Each structure stands twice: as C-alpha cells, then as structure tokens.
C-alpha cells in the first residue's frame, strides 16, 4: 500500500486547503514495487500524474477519504505513506460560497494515517514506512516524527530546496531505520524510488 499526493480539504464548493505535493515520489515508489513483482495499491490524492502500470489505483480528495480507503485496503504487508496529507480541515463546510466579509475559519485536525497504521495492532503491516517533509533540522525532526508515529522507517526529505522535494523531478532522502541512516544522494525520483523499493524488498529476504 502506498499513499501519495496532497489532500484537498474543502471550505466551500470552490475553495479548499491543500499543498503543493505532486505525488511523484509516491507514484514512483508504487511503480518500482509493482515492477519488482509486489501487488501494489496506490491511494492517491489529486494528482495529474499517469497511473503506474500494474498498480491498483484509488483516487481520493480528502484526508478522510484517504483514511477510509486505507482501511479498506488492509491487510497489507507493506505500507509506504508518502502522502502530504493536509493536517487540518475546516470545522464546518459551507454549502454556499463564502462571502468576503468572513475572515476566520475554524480548523480541526485530520486523522494521521501513518500513525493509525503503525499503531494498528490487529492489522499492522509488517513494515510501515513514513516520510518526513522538513524545512529545517531535517534528521532531528524526522527521528522525532518516527518515534511519535511508531513507524519502522522514516524517510526524511528537505522540502525547503526547489531542486529537490515538492514539485521537482529530483529528490535526495535519508532513510532512518533505528540508528542506521542511509543517504540516497540527489537523483531522479524514479531512481530514488527504485532504491527505496529494493531496500524494502531486501528487508523481507
């Protein structure tokens, strides 16, 4: 199971809260896993990318839908959460377009899908991999995130640099597994995905 892309949290029929995630790294990981012969489901938020071959794709818009589709996809052996899930949604969805005199919107926190998977005792995937999109103190913040969410590995990426991360074809990541840190130097997201998929498969050998 791979989650990818952003989610969109609607404020009213035409406005939403979201982020700039293209979904590319997740699509590439799903593609690599499928190429290595792993039966793969990709749960994707809004993305313009083409469906990878031999991958079962489920398209969603909101974090709630992504969570519900994740539950439906269980049980799985491997979960890779690359999605840039929008952390909050408006408390109230307005059915009519909001007029410009409204200046405040109350927000509610969305469920954390990675944390749910990692703490799901009855159907916990054998390997749960998270991503940590950070703009500063990359490794420190990523390690804290790994501990907080109880995933097995966390893959840290620096999203403050334009040439890697969100929207780019390239990425540079650090895979944190316990005290081990493996750096994958700047490379096409497809090559980074291949390395991640290979490492995942090797961990089952």
DSSP character for 151?
A: -
Tokens for 183, please give them. 């750096």
Residue among 11 and 129 whose Cβ is closer to ligand CTP:
129
Q: How many CB atoms lie within 10 A of CB 2?
A: 34
Residue among 31 and 134 whose Cβ is closer to ligand CTP:
134
Beta strands 55-59 and 2-4, pairing class: unpaired
**What is the spatial distance between Cα 166 and Cα 75, in angstroms, rounded to a whole number?**
30
Query: In this chain, which of 28, 112, 152, 158 binds ligand CTP, going by CB under 6 A?
Result: 112
Site string for ligand CTP, 44-63 (x = CB under 6 A): -------------------x
Interaction between residue 85 and ligand CTP (CB under 6 A): yes
* Interface with ligand CTP in residues 1-30 (CB under 6 A): 3
Interaction between residue 153 and ligand CTP (CB under 6 A): no
- Known catalytic membership, residue 19: yes
**What is the spatial distance between Cα 14 and Cα 165, in angstroms, rounded to a whole number?**
28
Q: Are 71 and 28 in contact (CB under 8 A)?
A: no
**What is the spatial distance between Cα 55 and Cα 200, in angstroms, rounded to a whole number?**
17
- In the block, tokens 């690359």 appear at 82
Q: How far is the CB of 13 from ligand CTP (least distance, A)?
A: 24
Interaction between residue 81 and ligand CTP (CB under 6 A): yes
Query: Which segment (29-37, 109-117, 174-182, 190-198) binds ligand CTP by CB under 6 A?
Result: 109-117
**What is the spatial distance between Cα 68 and Cα 66, in angstroms, rounded to a whole number?**
6
What is the set of active-site residues? Answer: 19
Binding residues (CB under 6 A) for ligand CTP: these are 3, 63, 81-85, 87, 110, 112-114, 130-133, 145
């Amino acid at each position: 199971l791979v989650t990818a892309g952003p989610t969109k949290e609607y404020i009213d029929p035409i406005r939403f809260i979201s982020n700039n995630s293209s979904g590319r790294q997740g699509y590439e990981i799903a593609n690599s896993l499928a190429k290595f012969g792993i039966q793969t489901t990709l749960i994707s938020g809004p993305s313009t990318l083409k469906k990878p071959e031999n991958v079962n794709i489920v398209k969603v818009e909101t974090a709630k839908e992504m969570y519900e589709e994740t539950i439906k996809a269980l049980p799985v052996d491997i979960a890779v959460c690359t999605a840039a899930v929008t952390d909050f949604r408006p408390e109230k969805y307005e059915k009519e377009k909001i007029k410009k005199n409204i200046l405040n919107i109350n927000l509610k926190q969305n469920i954390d899908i990675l944390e749910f998977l990692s703490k799901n005792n009855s159907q916990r995937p054998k390997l749960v991999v998270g991503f940590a999109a950070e703009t500063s103190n990359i490794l420190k913040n990523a390690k804290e995130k790994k501990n907080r969410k109880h995933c097995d590995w966390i893959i840290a990426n620096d999203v403050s640099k334009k040439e890697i991360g969100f929207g780019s074809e390239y990425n540079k990541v650090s895979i944190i597994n316990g005290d081990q840190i493996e750096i994958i130097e700047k490379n096409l997201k497809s090559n980074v995905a291949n390395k991640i998929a290979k490492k995942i498969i090797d961990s089952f050998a």
